[in-house]
Copies of this chain bind each other. A is one copy, B any other.
Amino acid sequence: MNNKAFFKLSYGLYVVSSSCDGKDSACIANTFVQVTSEPARVCITLNKNNYTTSLIENSCVYNVGVLLDDIDMDVIRRFGFQSGKDVNKFDGIDYEVDCQNIKQITEGIAASFSVKVISMTDVGTHIMFVGDVIDCKVINEGEVLTYANYHNKKNGTTPKNASSYQADTSKHGWRCTVCGFILEADELPEDFICPVCKQPSSVFEKI
């Protein structure tokens, strides 16, 4: 079993949002696929620990925005590296509301999909949400961001629970000794807060 095989898989990168009882949130995921053409049916797989996952479980609706290659890394940090339990991720950023009343960003995405869930499958740490596309739009032209480019070009970091991608044992940088989150960076900022478990930089060790 050579886990490096998992790095050969190709994905896009997406902002997945939902809304329930007046609460909005969104997260970053790489597992969005179209599963049938007729009807237009899709699937997203999300970690159970994500706040967005609980919103979708309750509302049975979600929106997926397809990230563009030139996306500002701050947008990925905003949606991927903090929890919607703690902050309102749409505060201070441009968004529109789709036909199912779900917020989605308008800058930095190529397209958006409004999805109504038809089935949920528990696959262990994650839930797969199969749904029908109620509406979809092309928002901006430009090359889309692939997961490979995200890692290669953006030197991106992956919170332990934010993605279903296999953990990379060859990573270097700083590891949170509390939750295992790895920051891939040469320097650890003094005021750095672990995006997963909220511990300060003092609990991090160099790897």
**Interface positions of A (Cβ within 8 A of B):** 1-6, 8-12, 31-41, 43, 45, 66, 110-113, 119, 121, 123-126, 128, 130, 133, 135-138, 144, 146-147, 164-167
Residues of B within 8 A of A167 (CB): 37
Among the listed B112, B113, B146, B165, which residue makes an inter-chain contact with A37, where contact means beta carbons less than 8 Å apart?
Answer: B165
> Least Cβ distance of A79 to chain B in Å?
18
Knowing A33-B45, A36-B126, A126-B36, say if A12 contacts B9 (CB, 8 Å): yes
Which of B5, B110, B135, B146 is A138 in contact with, Cβ under 8 Å? Answer: B5
Q: With A10-B10, A34-B166, A166-B34 given, is the CB distance from A138 to B4 under 8 Å?
A: yes
Nearest B residue to A64, CB-CB? B9
Q: How far is the CA of A172 from the CA of B41 in the complex (A)?
A: 25
* Chain B residues, Cβ within 8 Å of A136: 1-3, 5-6
- Whether A8 pairs with B165 at a CB distance below 8 angstroms is no
| Chain B residues positioned under 8 Å from A138 (CB to CB) | 2, 4-5, 8
For A110, list chain B residues within 8 Å (CB).
Answer: 8
- Residue from the list B2, B40, B121 in contact with A137, Cβ < 8 A: B2
Closest to A147 in B: B10
- Chain B contacts of A111 at CB under 8 A? 4-5, 8
Within 8 Å by CB of A40, from B3, B35, B146, lies: B3
| Closest chain B CB from A108 CB (angstroms) | 13
- CB-CB nearest 10 A-B residue pairs: A10-B12, A5-B111, A5-B136, A8-B111, A8-B110, A8-B66, A35-B45, A36-B124, A36-B125, A31-B33
- Alpha-carbon separation in the docked complex, A33 to B46 (Å): 12
Distance A111 CA – B6 CA, assembled complex (angstroms): 8
Partner of A38, one of B125, B137, B147: B125
Residues of chain B with a CB closer than 8 A to A130's CB: 121, 123, 128
Contact residues in B for A112 (Cβ distance below 8 Å)? 5
